[in-house]
Amino acid sequence: MAETLGRLLTDLGERSLYDAVSQCSRCGYCEQACPTYVATGEESKSPRGRNQIVRLMLEGKLDDPKAALESLSTCLTCGACTTACYAKVPVADIVLEGRRMLAGKPHWLTKRVSSLMVKSPRIFAFLLRIGFVLKKIGVSKLGRPILRACGLSVLASMDAHTDEAPFWNLDDLVKSREKTDGPAYRYFAACGTRYLFPRVGTATLDALDELKGKGAYLNNPCCGLLAHNYGELEDARKLAKKNIEHAEKNGGELIIGDDSSCVAHLKTYPQLFLKPEDSEWRARAEKFVKRIKDAIEIYGESSDMLPPKTAEGVETTYHDSCRAINGQGIKELPRQAARRAAGASFCEMAGSDACCGGAGAFGFVHESLSDDLLKTKVGNVAAVQAGVVLTSSTSCLIQLARGLRKYYPEAKALHLSEFVAGALRK
């Protein structure tokens, strides 16, 4: 069994895992909010079913570990159930704990990737660059059957799902900004923005510079989300400590990130340090969290500074990243900015807060279920005839771009930063 947290920070305060699970009264009120339950109709793929499985594990009464793993591994950890639940049962955290109890050691590839991110980020960036070159010249496509035959179908799916292959990463483009004097904010680069969508990172810096004043590049380590969700907690803790130390050393108050999944994870750092011997780190993590903001919060708070759009434009809609709306409770702020910058062209779509099926590695591992959720999402985009879908995380950008290419090429996916930066430039 892999290490577990054992204790969780819930809306009702710090609880043991068992007490957190026991907060579930099995009312079923969350079922219709759960994308995997709605898609499959199976109780084992519902929040209530997943809570019950972890409860049985903790009571030593689980008789079918294989079925339990299937139930827990198909959870998107989107948190929609917790938003709907009157008792705020932290199902996503409970599911992650259940997976750690069942899964034992993580897959060697996950272990190697998170270890590279912790110990040798430069080698990690170099390997990614090789991958991107292979993709650009079309070789990676030919290698997909080999990857699948070697049991690395996740890599093959990642290659198939991602369309962009930037040669220059964000460090190459903006690292010189590390030395900005007296910056108004520090920019936290998520790995997705850094390596896959540097165009989003530069747009965020452009937009924030206009709205907050000149900022600096924090040049931070990985936030540790991958290790937390798929690898080992020890690696997640090491990366959290590295980030806290790095932020303390680099001064300033405000740290802003533009990948809602990573920002949400940064905001949960205190939960990694609940053991009595980690009390000093918990206090440091709590201070760190107070400095963290999601860029979409800033855009909403500063929406009056955006030039209002008066002429009609391309219909624009908004897709909530799960880790923004459920993980951080951010719903209205990005819409305020999008409405201001899109004017009358902004339209709400049905199910804007439902997971698109990206959910980190979920889209690469559970392709069929992920595709079902994606089709529903793209259907909702098409229903409002949107030409632009705005969002705020790498995972959503990859998934939406893939879905739009496949089912509704009339629309494109953009990060809200790109939209806001574009409006400020006009």
Binding mask 197-216 for ligand SF4 (x = CB under 6 A): --------------------
Nearest to 313 by CA among 205, 422, 403, 399: 422
Place of tokens 């059957």: 145
> For ligand SF4, which is the closer residue by CB, 10 or 417?
10
> For ligand SF4, which is the closer residue by CB, 90 or 270?
90
> For ligand SF4, which is the closer residue by CB, 80 or 298?
80
The CB-of-366 to ligand SF4 minimum distance in angstroms stands at: 11
DSSP assignment letter at 27: -
Tokens of 320: 């909530």
Distance (Å, whole) CA 292 – CA 308? 28
The CB-of-302 to ligand SF4 minimum distance in angstroms stands at: 31
Query: Is residue 7 within a helix (H) or strand (E), and if so which, with residue range?
Result: strand 7-10
The CB-of-9 to ligand SF4 minimum distance in angstroms stands at: 17
Phi, psi for 55 (deg, rounded to 5): -60, -45
The CB-of-396 to ligand SF4 minimum distance in angstroms stands at: 14
Contact 168, 159 (CB under 8 A): no
The CB-of-266 to ligand SF4 minimum distance in angstroms stands at: 19
Q: Which residues, in sequence order, are CB contacts of 46 under 8 Å at separation 6+?
A: 28, 30, 31, 34, 36, 37
CA 106 from chain centre, in angstroms, equals 20
Distance (Å, whole) CA 323 – CA 50? 20
The CB-of-51 to ligand SF4 minimum distance in angstroms stands at: 6
- Which residue of 9, 87, 134, 289 would you call a contact of ligand SF4, by CB under 6 A? 87
> For ligand SF4, which is the closer residue by CB, 102 or 420?
102
The CB-of-129 to ligand SF4 minimum distance in angstroms stands at: 34
* Helices then strands, each counted (H, E), the chain: 24, 9
> For ligand SF4, which is the closer residue by CB, 27 or 150?
27
The CB-of-377 to ligand SF4 minimum distance in angstroms stands at: 14
User: Which part of the chain contacts ligand SF4 (CB under 6 A), choosing from 90-98, 221-229, 312-320, 343-351?
Assistant: 90-98
User: Which part of the chain contacts ligand SF4 (CB under 6 A), choosing from 89-97, 197-205, 211-219, 387-395?
Assistant: 89-97
Distance (Å, whole) CA 196 – CA 128? 9
Residue 80 interacts with ligand SF4 (CB under 6 A): yes or no:
yes
**Contacts of ligand SF4 in 18-77 (CB under 6 A):** 24-30, 33-36, 47-48, 50-51, 75-77
Contact 83, 128 (CB under 8 A): no
Contact 52, 30 (CB under 8 A): no
> For ligand SF4, which is the closer residue by CB, 30 or 158?
30
Residue 413 interacts with ligand SF4 (CB under 6 A): yes or no:
no
Residue 373 interacts with ligand SF4 (CB under 6 A): yes or no:
no
Phi, psi for 364 (deg, rounded to 5): -85, -25
Q: Which residues, in sequence order, are CB contacts of 126 under 8 Å at separation 6+?
A: none
The CB-of-73 to ligand SF4 minimum distance in angstroms stands at: 11
> For ligand SF4, which is the closer residue by CB, 91 or 174?
91
> For ligand SF4, which is the closer residue by CB, 39 or 386?
39
Place of tokens 């900004």: 177
DSSP assignments along 260-311, one per residue: HHHHHHHHTGGGGG-SGGGHHHHHHHHHHHHTEEEHHHHHHHTGGGSPPP-S
DSSP assignment letter at 45: G
Residue 89 interacts with ligand SF4 (CB under 6 A): yes or no:
yes
Tokens of 338: 């999008």
Residue 85 interacts with ligand SF4 (CB under 6 A): yes or no:
yes
Nearest to 356 by CA among 260, 422, 420, 264: 260
> For ligand SF4, which is the closer residue by CB, 78 or 413?
78
Determine the size of the site formed for ligand SF4 (CB under 6 A).
Answer: 28
> For ligand SF4, which is the closer residue by CB, 30 or 58?
30
CB-closest chain residue to ligand SF4: 85
Nearest to 94 by CA among 60, 56, 28, 50: 50
Name the residues that contact ligand SF4, by CB under 6 A: 24-30, 33-36, 47-48, 50-51, 75-81, 85, 87, 89, 91-92, 95
